């Protein structure tokens, strides 16, 4: 069976990666697949997508968070083909354990040498990974500063923040609105608001002591997109759309972009809502359609403050 990542790594001898893992004591197929998938996404995040339609923004993250993302067209020249391999090294060193330990510089040197088809000494690996760590920290710090100023309102007292948050949320609500866990019967739930304020207090305390990242390493993630068009017209049902174009992954290295398919989201449904004052509303909902490629066609490497996960979690839990 051909895995999707193989086309993005087609000029690389993947057998050598498999052998490297085995010789290091890693025999799980799942780890090999994970490493190749992460490598393909890293490479894709530095690639150019050449297509005739949908030239919009792919990822909806703060611009400050994006270290690199798939570009539309050829605006920035040839992709920085070497950089993606070192970002894979960064992720492998962080996420992979070999016999209970982080991968050594020598292991990463061998891995990156396979990917780039040149000898990459361990000292070069250590130097560049240090540079990437600083780059990730810079991006995550800029995101954190924006969130602290505009979302957590760092300079505002807790009482004022509480009052303003409650007012902002309730001013557009009706008495019947239910948005769990924040809103009940058109009002902000005090239990939820208490939890939000507690998390805000904890984050700001750590930020005051350790700086915008609260003394933690940046959260570096690879995001990818498979859905090309959301909300495609209802009449677009005559088979898959045309091939979207090609992906330029390196010097003189171009591959066809994956073939999209039409996906139906939901079914035709009829619903009736009764009104308290009598009568009701009947609505007919048609399915939505999306053009889905079923495998990554674009990717982005992003860096965020770790505490953002804590802040987002309390909003929905």
Supply the mean pLDDT for the chain. Answer: 84
**Backbone dihedral angles phi then psi of residue 204, each to the nearest 5 degrees:** -65, -35
pLDDT range class, residue 61, cuts 50, 70, 90: confident
* Cα 91 from Cα 290, distance rounded (Å): 32
pLDDT exceeds cutoff 50 at 181: yes
pLDDT range class, residue 273, cuts 50, 70, 90: low
Q: What's the average model confidence in pLDDT over 138-156?
A: 97
Furthest CA-CA distance within the chain:
77
pLDDT exceeds cutoff 70 at 39: yes
Q: What's the average model confidence in pLDDT over 271-292?
A: 50
Q: How many CA atoms lie within 13 A of 174 on its CB side?
A: 2
* Cα 136 from Cα 213, distance rounded (Å): 11
pLDDT exceeds cutoff 50 at 267: yes
DSSP state of 186: T
pLDDT of residue 247: 83
Kindly list the distances between the CA atom of residue 289 and the CA atoms of 240, 261, 264, 267, in Å, as whole numbers in the listed order.
12, 10, 5, 10
Q: What is the pTM of this model?
A: 0.82
Q: What's the average model confidence in pLDDT over 259-286?
A: 51
* Cα 158 from Cα 166, distance rounded (Å): 12
């Amino acid at each position: 069976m051909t895995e999707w990542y193989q086309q993005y790594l087609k000029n690389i001898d993947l057998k050598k990666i498999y052998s490297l893992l085995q010789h290091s004591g890693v025999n799980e197929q799942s780890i090999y697949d994970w490493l190749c998938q992460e490598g393909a996404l890293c490479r894709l995040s530095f690639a150019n997508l050449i297509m005739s339609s949908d030239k919009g923004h792919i990822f909806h993250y703060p611009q400050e968070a994006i270290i690199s993302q798939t570009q539309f067209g050829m605006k920035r020249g040839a992709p920085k083909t070497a950089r993606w391999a070192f970002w894979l090294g960064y992720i492998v060193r962080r996420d992979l354990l070999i016999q209970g330990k982080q991968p050594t510089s020598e292991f990463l040197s061998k891995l990156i040498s396979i990917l780039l088809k040149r000898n990459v000494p361990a000292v070069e690996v250590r130097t560049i990974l240090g540079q990437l760590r600083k780059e990730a920290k810079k991006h995550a710090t800029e995101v954190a500063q924006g969130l602290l100023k505009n979302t957590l309102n760092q300079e505002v007292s807790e009482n004022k923040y509480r009052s303003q948050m409650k007012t902002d949320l309730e001013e557009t609500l009706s008495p019947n609105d239910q948005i769990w866990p924040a809103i009940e019967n058109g009002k902000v739930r005090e239990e939820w608001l208490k939890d939000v304020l507690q998390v805000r207090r904890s984050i700001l305390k750590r930020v005051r002591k350790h700086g915008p990242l609260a003394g933690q390493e940046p959260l570096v993630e690879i995001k990818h997109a498979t859905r090309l068009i959301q909300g495609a017209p209802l009449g677009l049902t005559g088979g898959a759309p045309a091939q979207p174009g090609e992906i330029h992954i390196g010097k003189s290295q171009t591959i066809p972009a994956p073939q999209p398919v039409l996906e139906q989201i939901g079914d035709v449904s009829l619903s009736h809502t009764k009104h308290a004052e009598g009568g009701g509303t009947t609505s007919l909902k048609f399915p939505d359609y999306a053009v889905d490629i079923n495998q990554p066609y674009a990717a982005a490497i992003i860096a965020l403050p770790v505490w953002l996960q804590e802040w987002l979690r309390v909003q929905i839990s």
